[in-house]
Amino acid sequence: MNRSLPRPVLALPPSFSRREFRTALGMFATGVTIVTARNAAGALVGLTANSFNSVSLDPPLVLWSLSHGASSLSAFANGSHYAIHVLAADQKTLAERFAARGIDRWDGLEHRPGISGAPLLVGAAATFECFNRSRYQEGDHTIFVGEVERCEHRAGASPLLYHGGRFYTEHPL
């Protein structure tokens, strides 16, 4: 039987401004992560990200996304491994440090190498060491899907939260 595929339906143009979209997205409370790796020359790279989600339990997959304008995009796009750190409530300063521009984020910072060389930060609520399984360019971001090779968590750690453009160390009322 020869079935023709339905014609693709296109999205309508947005009825809102970029600012309105960003404000609406800010109503979704998220955890806060720092993603770390080494670039091709072996230098440490890392950034704060709140675009983290689980994808699959079998195989164990997670995803996160990075702006095409990020200076570290090539390190993550071309590298084989990275680590994702779910930050604990007491790591707000660390989140701000890795979100800042024009500073050495690694200066004096305690870390250790992961199983594939990605730097692991001390004190995270959870850490996922990932193989860079796939990448998808969508809009102004690249979506990274990582296959988790090792994970660990700190029992009893409360997460750092991000909501409405602010960090919270406990649930906002």
Distance CA 135, CA 2 (A): 34
Give pLDDT, residue 1: 56
Instruction: Flag whether 69 is in a domain.
Output: yes
Query: Domain count of the chain?
Result: 1
Instruction: Flag whether 20 is in a domain.
Output: no
Give me the count of residues in the chain. Answer: 173
Report which residue type is found at 27.
M
Instruction: Flag whether 11 is in a domain.
Output: no
Range 20-37 burial, b when 16+ CB lie within 10 A, else e: eeeeeeeeeebebbbbbb
Distance CA 71, CA 61 (A): 25
Domain range for 112: 30-168
Give pLDDT, residue 2: 61
Distance CA 50, CA 28 (A): 11
Tens digit of pLDDT per residue, the chain (173 long)? 567 777 788 989 999 999 999 999 999 999 999 999 999 999 999 999 999 999 999 999 999 999 999 999 999 999 999 999 999 999 999 999 999 999 999 999 999 999 999 999 999 999 999 999 999 999 999 999 999 999 999 999 999 999 998 999 886 55
Task: Choose among 104, 132, 108: nearest CA to 118.
Answer: 132
Instruction: Flag whether 13 is in a domain.
Output: no
Instruction: Flag whether 70 is in a domain.
Output: yes
- Is the separation of the CB atoms in 118 and 124 below 8 Å? no
CATH classification of the domain holding 129 = 2.30.110.10
Strand boundaries in 39-158, DSSP class E: 44-49, 52-56, 61-67, 81-86, 111-113, 119-121, 126-138, 141-153
